[in-house]
Amino acid sequence: MVCGSGLAAQQVCAALAPYLCDSLGVTWIAGISSADSDFLYGNLAPPTAYDFNLSLGVSEPELILNSDTTFSYGTHVTNWGALKLNWVQAFHQPLPVLEGATFQHYLTQQGQAALEPFLVSAVAARRGVFAHPPEDPAHPLSRAEYGYHFDATAYGALFELAAANGGVRKVAADVSAIDAVDGAIKAIHLSNGQTLTADLWIDATGPQATLLSQIGGVRHSADLRQKRRLCVSLTRMEAETPGPAVTTVNGTSYGWQAKTALRTSTLMLTTSDPDSDLEAQAVPETAPVRSATVDIGFRDIAWVGNCVGIGHAACVAEPLTIAPILLLQRDIERLLPLLPVSDDLSVERREYNRQALADYVHADLFMRALFETQPVEGSLYWRDATRTPADERLARKIEQFESRGLHVAYDLEPFGPEDWLILHYGMGRRPLRYDRIVDGADNARIRQYFESLRSNIDSVIRSMPPHGTYLNGLTNYLRQTQG
């Protein structure tokens, strides 16, 4: 039984549809108004969304033809912190390993202070151009990765259709009462008079966690880590043509604003400390279409008894990074192989919670890394973001990178080595030393490699069309080829 009306419920129902059989039926209770919090997922999906969506029955052509989705090379962060940092947190393929050493060691040896000129997706993002990466590995653009700019309502509708086509039964009713005994849900009573039972319940009701809150109680809601309260609002501004293939995040004294270009509009997400909210709300030119004050944090235990929380029911991450939608994807991918095969849920529950907690903790490390710089003086937002000391695991990551250019990795990290490397350079961190193995390479040849790579990237970027032009051309092509 899946409860919730928003993106989390739509995606998990689409994911479960292929598993329908005599021994597994799925009912979706879709009357709970959790869709109002979907804007807290942000408006940027990571490159992994391509395969994830396809596994749920939603292809990229469907996204382009049947929603206002556009492409994205990542996030352009501007005016960040007191140092007013400016970098593109780009999606990118793994950087080359040259003669046994990773890319950053050669950068340090060659005295190259900037990583971004060697990231084709970052350069393309700044220039406002886009094209799909070619299959030829020798082509500079083949190293680029891309995700999607999306509006949660249009995005979610495609997964809802996939779930319906897969045979998931939808019940449009609200939950009026919940029967819970000994930490498990026995039944729910609906506003239409029905009483329903299930072996496994999936709570996709958003931050309120309607089901989990009945069996987790105060104990679990008190286990939210790094708890912060933020005001978040979403504004929509009409646009004649799509903007650049990158979400632009601008730091402010009260928090930040993110602009994301869709087909015919631009979405602006404004986030602030509650005590700074009046200042933040004065900025948008149009009234917000969605707004909320939310507690940022995650549950230590996402699967309690016979109920699994996914998406915001388990973790509300600040939508400054791709973490919110990335964690939702990983919740669903983690659940599928752990679907119970007996009445004893203990093994599946324990493994799910182990993996979920690691995901939430490590996503939080990446988020906190954004604040390991000189703060904005007098900012309540920055004060609350850095109120507690950084986790020792994050301190170790930063220390080892700055000391020796090493990437410290932990089990089950949602953000990979390239994400961390780009973040380190964007935040102004540089290694003091490099791996001495690079001294064995021919210095002139390495210098020529860097010069050629940078030149080839500049050349290919100059030949690429603006994002809107490419998107319109692709749309026309898809309409012709698909009738």
Q: What is the pLDDT of residues 425-451, one digit of tens each?
A: 999 999 999 999 999 888 899 999 999
Strand blocks (E) in 163-282? 169-171, 175-181, 184-190, 195-196, 201-203, 228-238, 247-251, 255-261, 265-272
Of the pLDDT bands very low, low, confident and very high (cuts 50, 70, 90), residue 259 is: very high
Of the pLDDT bands very low, low, confident and very high (cuts 50, 70, 90), residue 278 is: low
Tell me which residue has tokens 């030119």.
285
Query: Looking at the DSSP assignment, which residues form a beta bridge with residue 234?
Result: 269, 290
In the prediction, which pLDDT does 389 show? 87
In the prediction, which pLDDT does 191 show? 92
In the prediction, which pLDDT does 100 show? 85
pLDDT above 50: residue 115: yes
Flag the least confident range among 29-33, 66-70, 110-114, 338-342. Answer: 29-33
C-beta of residue 465 within 8 angstroms of C-beta of residue 472: no
H helices of 204-345, where? 212-221, 277-281, 323-335
Domain ranges of the chain: 2-426
Tell me which residue has tokens 């991918």.
333
In the prediction, which pLDDT does 32 show? 62
Phi, psi of 425 (to 5 degrees): -65, -40
In the prediction, which pLDDT does 390 show? 87
Flag the least confident range among 173-182, 245-254, 283-292, 461-470. Answer: 283-292
Q: Which helix (H) or strand (E) holds 89?
A: strand 85-90
Rounded to the nearest integer, the mean pLDDT of the chain is: 92
Helix (H, G, I), strand (E, B) or coil at 473: helix
Phi, psi of 149 (to 5 degrees): -85, 130
Instruction: Count CB atoms within 10 A of the CB of residue 274.
Output: 15
Closest CA to 325 of 163, 151, 452: 151
Q: Which letter, b or e, does each residue of 419-449 get, where b requires 16 or more Cβ atoms within 10 Å of its Cβ?
A: bbbbbbbbbebbbeebbeebeebeeeebeeb
pLDDT in tens, 372-389: 999 999 999 999 999 888
pLDDT above 90: residue 36: no
In the prediction, which pLDDT does 218 show? 37
In the prediction, which pLDDT does 35 show? 67
Overall CATH class of domain 2-426: alpha beta
In the prediction, which pLDDT does 323 show? 97
Helix (H, G, I), strand (E, B) or coil at 149: strand
Q: Which letter, b or e, does each residue of 334-368 get, where b requires 16 or more Cβ atoms within 10 Å of its Cβ?
A: bbeebeeeeeebeebbeebbebbbebbbbbbbbbb
Of the pLDDT bands very low, low, confident and very high (cuts 50, 70, 90), residue 220 is: very low
